Structure 1
Amino acid sequence: MYDFKPDPGLDTAERYRQLSDAADALTAGEPDPVANMANVAALIWEFLPGLNWAGFYRMGKSASGADELVLGPFVGRPACIRIPLGQGVCGVAASTRETQLVEDVHAFPGHIACDAASRSELVVPVVRDGETIAVIDLDSPEPARFTNKDASGLEKLARLLSARI
């Protein structure tokens, strides 16, 4: 049995170090990307306070064959199932392959509101061989919940996962 419960007093860098270590332990040697995304979404939920959604969107195809993001494993309220590339915070992160740290989602042009309670968002692309294969998406009901330290920690996690999802 796994019991990954971080100390609530951890500083951000140590919290992300422990999160990455736990993700490494759970995903090492497991070839199924859905299982790995599901476990990591649960870990993120346990390790990071102040979230109302944590999970993955993975690259897929629309009915017309265009690349788009498709909902993957997550923890939180039901979410948008498909997101076109370049649209919303997730679609921009996927298409630019750049982390999107948004202090106020209502000020983000083209924000897609899956949960009206969300106020800030952090989306990190997971890139393999120069191509986006997924994004890690964190939402919070707190304005400006995420910092550059959160972005850096999640980017390290994305690099670890790039060969495991």
Structure 2
Amino acid sequence: MSLSRKRRKELTRLRKSADELWNNQQEVLERVNALAREASRQAGVLTREEVVPKVRESYDQIVRPKVQATQELAEGVRHQVVDKVLPGIGTAVGTLMSVGDVAHDARIRAALNRVRFQKPIVVQKKGPGAGTYIGLGVALAAAVGVAYAVWQTFRADDELWVAEDEPAAATSVED
């Protein structure tokens, strides 16, 4: 393709202008990268000096005591189950097994055969008794206690991230 001398000069000027623009953009990008590195470094320093100590302090003052209280509650529940509920279940199973052994005894079978011919006594149940309501009340109280402990553990604390002393003036990064 043949171009006139005038067009070649215009194209040469245009190419020089594009190269100059490219070089200027590269310089701007280098400055932006340097500024971003400095901002990242400053953010790291700010995090180490300000944020991490406040998070640690908040954890030690707010979260750790609640976790310890929850662990103590769980230990108390475990103690109650191991020391009171499981022995009762063991006793009930043992009693059931002994009743099964007694049922196979020939003397008991003979006594039962004599009683079969008598008219059975029917006891009519009138409805749930006081024990049912007491049991429901205890279960409800336990559920409310556990729900309250969980709520206290996981509730949002508005003062958790609020800084007590606000900085007087923000520092700026200068080139």
TM-score by length of 1: 0.20
Structure in which a larger fraction of residues adopt strand: 1
Structure with bigger helix share is 2
Structure number with larger C-alpha Rg = 2
